[in-house]
Amino acid sequence: MDTRGALAVGHLLAERYHILSVIGRGGMSTVYLAEDRKLPGKQWAVKESRKHSGHKEMFYEEAALLIRLDHPFLPKIIDFFPPNEEGFSYLVMDYIQGETLQQRFIRKQYLPCSDVVKHSIQLCELFDYLHNFKPRPIIYRDLKPSNVMIDEQNNVRLIDFGIARNYNEERTADTVQLGTVGFAAPEQFLNRQTDERTDLYTLGAMMYYLLSGGKHYGIASGDRPVEELAEDLPVAVRKVIFQLLAEQPEDRIQSAREVKLRLQEGAGEPVAFRSTEERSHGSQPDRHSGKRRLIVLGGLYPGAGATFIAIALARLLNDADIPHALIEHAGNSPELHSLLFGERHAPVEYRYYTDPDFLPERPVDLRWKDGRTEWLPLPPDRKLEGEWTADHYYRLLYLLDYPVAILDISNRWCDPAVQQMCKEAELILMIADPYPSKFNGPDTQESLHFVEGLSNKAIYWIANRDEAFSGRKEWLSTLPQPPLCLIPSFAGKSLLDAQWKGRIAQDDPEILDTLRHVCEPLLSLIAATAERGGRKRSAWLAKWFK
């Protein structure tokens, strides 16, 4: 293929851009260094391409997309020219003085682990921006060392958006499968849909290449051994790399922001690894450095009392002076706002976490706080734009600077986002009450099967509305394990009095004192050092299904 460009040194493009030299050439494009005649002394990179020859509409669509992008790790597009009669189109963009990661790797033959991790974290920040771009995410799909520039400040700039595209969740496969062998994800060669996780695979493949002396993962001899990676690479970072390189997208880390957090934790979070945004806050402490626990809490079936227990746990953590947040799952029917008397107690300009403009750096007076509790209910009118996924929750949990977050899922155990959060949770609490008519419903059985599959998770049962009755012993024996807590059936008068007085029932002194006593094992579990590893469960399903 003829890779010579149509422009010559000395040419004046559009009576403005004076071509000074050729910077680089590829299969379909040539990049020139140009001087701006309207802005003397200003230099730009001009990319000439035949990719859109005969397809002006596609060029305008791509150019319009690129011009809208605005991120410190992307070169800014400032001008463009559609395909001419010879089929050449032009993009004018920032000229980045530096070298590509590939050039640096070849020149040095070795890159320090700290540099690779730093640049990978920066790429995670950029992918997080692209993957959350509106109206649709942008999937880059061709990450490799030769497409990553390192500027004079030792920061990354991602170049060559030749095969980037908007993600369309309605499509089951890409129209064109492209990627670079050695870095492309398996789905790019199997006629499958690519999505955000495709970019995360390519990030893992690039890290492996740079940290193994230039070996490609999975080429020729199958998956490469871990011993090929640099010896001084932290174990936690190795784990991240191999998670990113999982063959199935669902087995990878699911969001760029989560990858960034794990890389920061694995590398010890030195200041040099913090994002531009984090560094801009000066000497403020890193609010994400502490261990945060996610507790997923739900009823085995509707009406088991999951929200009552969730509020009770929140008030007990407040009583124990443990900062925390209570999140009402986006798939629930809105209930928490009403139980908390939101019309009276929510901040005047309160933003619900499901709002598109929910802000990361929210002023304290816009947080709905009650002592050590932050409430995150659903809007009572239930106007939720789009479906909430696990990635949404990763972002939300990243923003919540509390040691404990409680996710009240009602009985939505079969929701894909809930199931992913269960895999990330420190504790899973299952709520059941003594009404046997609810045990054998099809949704209950499906929830039980899902829970049975979480063999490596710490799952605890809570018996709600416990009181003396003829079948109490049989009821408790049907649970897969002895309940961690027995929550009594509180008098209806106490609950009604609290409701009609506009107070949270769990704040009633008598109710709170009882909860302190019966929930002591749960509070000790939360406060203790993390107890990982689930409990093996015997063949108890027959008791529920008979």
Element (DSSP H or E) covering residue 99: strand 98-100
- Cα–Cα distance, 157 to 76 (Å, whole number): 10
Q: What is the pLDDT of residue 535?
A: 32
Q: Supply φ then ψ for residue 59, to 5 degrees.
A: -65, -50
Q: Is 263 strand, coil or helix?
A: helix
Q: Are 395 and 257 in contact (CB under 8 A)?
A: yes
- The answer to whether residues 365 and 347 touch, using CB atoms and an 8 Å cutoff, is yes
pLDDT of residue 285: 32
pLDDT in 10s for each residue of the chain, 546 residues = 344 668 889 999 989 999 999 988 766 778 899 999 988 889 999 988 877 666 677 778 777 778 888 888 988 888 888 888 888 888 898 898 889 999 999 998 888 898 999 999 999 999 999 999 887 888 888 899 988 999 888 899 998 765 444 444 444 333 334 557 778 888 877 667 888 999 999 999 999 999 988 888 864 434 555 567 877 788 889 999 999 998 889 999 999 999 999 998 887 743 333 333 333 333 333 333 345 688 999 999 888 999 999 999 999 999 888 899 999 999 999 999 999 988 888 888 888 888 876 765 566 778 899 999 999 999 988 766 667 887 778 778 767 778 899 999 999 998 988 988 888 888 999 999 998 677 777 788 888 888 878 867 889 999 999 999 998 998 898 888 899 999 999 877 777 877 787 788 888 888 999 999 999 999 888 876 333 333 333 332 233 222
Q: How far is 116 from 237, CA to CA, in rounded Å?
A: 11
Can you give the pLDDT at residue 202?
A: 93
* Cβ-based burial of 317 (10 A; exposed 0-12, middle 13-18, buried ≥19): buried
For residue 412, which of 391, 394, 387 has the smallest C-alpha distance? Answer: 387
pTM: 0.49
Beta carbons of 117 and 263 less than 8 angstroms apart: yes
Domain 293-329+399-545, CATH 3.40.120.10 — does that match? no
Peptide bond into 135 cis (omega under 30): yes
270 beta partners: none
User: Comparing C-alpha atoms, which of 270, 263, 342, 362 is closest to residue 502?
Assistant: 342
Buried residues in 124-160 as b, exposed as e (16+ CB within 10 A): bbbbbbbbbbeeebbbbbbbbbbbbbbeeeebbbbbb
**DSSP 8-state secondary structure symbol assigned to residue 1:** -
CATH for the stretch 12-94:
3.30.200.20
What secondary structure letter does DSSP report for 192?
A: -
pLDDT of residue 279: 32
Phi then psi dihedrals of residue 65, to 5 deg: -65, -50
Pairing of strands 148-151, 98-100: antiparallel
| Token pair of 256 as six digits | 């760029």
d(CA 28, CA 2): 9
Chain segment 357-389, per-residue pLDDT in tens: 676 556 677 889 999 999 999 998 876 666 788
The domain limits of the chain are: 12-94, 99-279, 293-329+399-545
pLDDT at 230: 75
Query: Any idea what the Cα angle at residue 459 is, between residues 265 and 418, rounded to 5°?
Result: 70
In eight-state DSSP terms, residue 257 is H
Tokens of 205: 């493949």
Instruction: Write out the DSSP string of 112-168.
Output: -HHHHHHHHHHHHHHHHHHHT-SSS-EE-----GGGEEEETTS-EEE---TT-EE--
Judge residue 481's burial from the number of C-beta atoms within 10 Å of its C-beta, 0-12 exposed, 13-18 middle, 19 or more buried.
middle
3-class secondary-structure state, position 30: strand
In order of 96, 314, 409, 418, 488, the CA distances from 295 in angstroms are 46, 11, 10, 11, 22
Count of C-beta atoms within a 10 Å radius of residue 173: 11
Q: Are strands 156-158 and 148-151 parallel, antiparallel or unpaired?
A: antiparallel
Contact (CB, 8 A) for 408 and 297: yes
- Token reading at 91: 């993009």
CB 396 within 8 A of CB 353: yes
Alpha-carbon gap, residue 221 to 48, rounded angstroms: 38
The end-to-end CA distance of the chain, in Å, is: 71
**Which of 222, 410, 384 has the alpha carbon at shortest distance from 303?**
410
Q: CA of 253: how far to CAs of 148, 184, 398, in Å?
A: 22, 16, 15
Q: Are 75 and 157 in contact (CB under 8 A)?
A: yes
DSSP calls for 421-477:
HHHH-SEEEEEE-S-GGGTTSHHHHHHHHHHHT-TTS-EEEEEEEE---TTHHHHHH
pLDDT at residue 233, as a whole number: 84
Amino acid at 320: A
Check: CB of residue 308 under 8 Å from CB of residue 463: no
- Among 279, 281, 280, 282, which Cα is nearest to 269's? 279
Q: Do 99-279 and 293-329+399-545 agree at the fold level?
A: no
Q: What is the pLDDT of residue 205?
A: 92
Interatomic CA distance for residues 66 and 251, integer angstroms: 31
Taking the C-alpha atoms of residue 180 and residue 212, their distance in angstroms, rounded to an integer, is 18
| Six token digits for residue 191 | 């006629």
Angstrom distance (rounded) from CA 240 to CA 448: 31
Closest Cα to residue 49, out of 74, 66, 73, 71?
A: 66
The CATH-assigned architecture of domain 99-279 is Orthogonal Bundle (1.10)
Alpha-carbon distances of 284 from 118, 243, 260, 263, 279, rounded to whole Å: 20, 32, 19, 21, 9
pLDDT of the residue at 317: 93
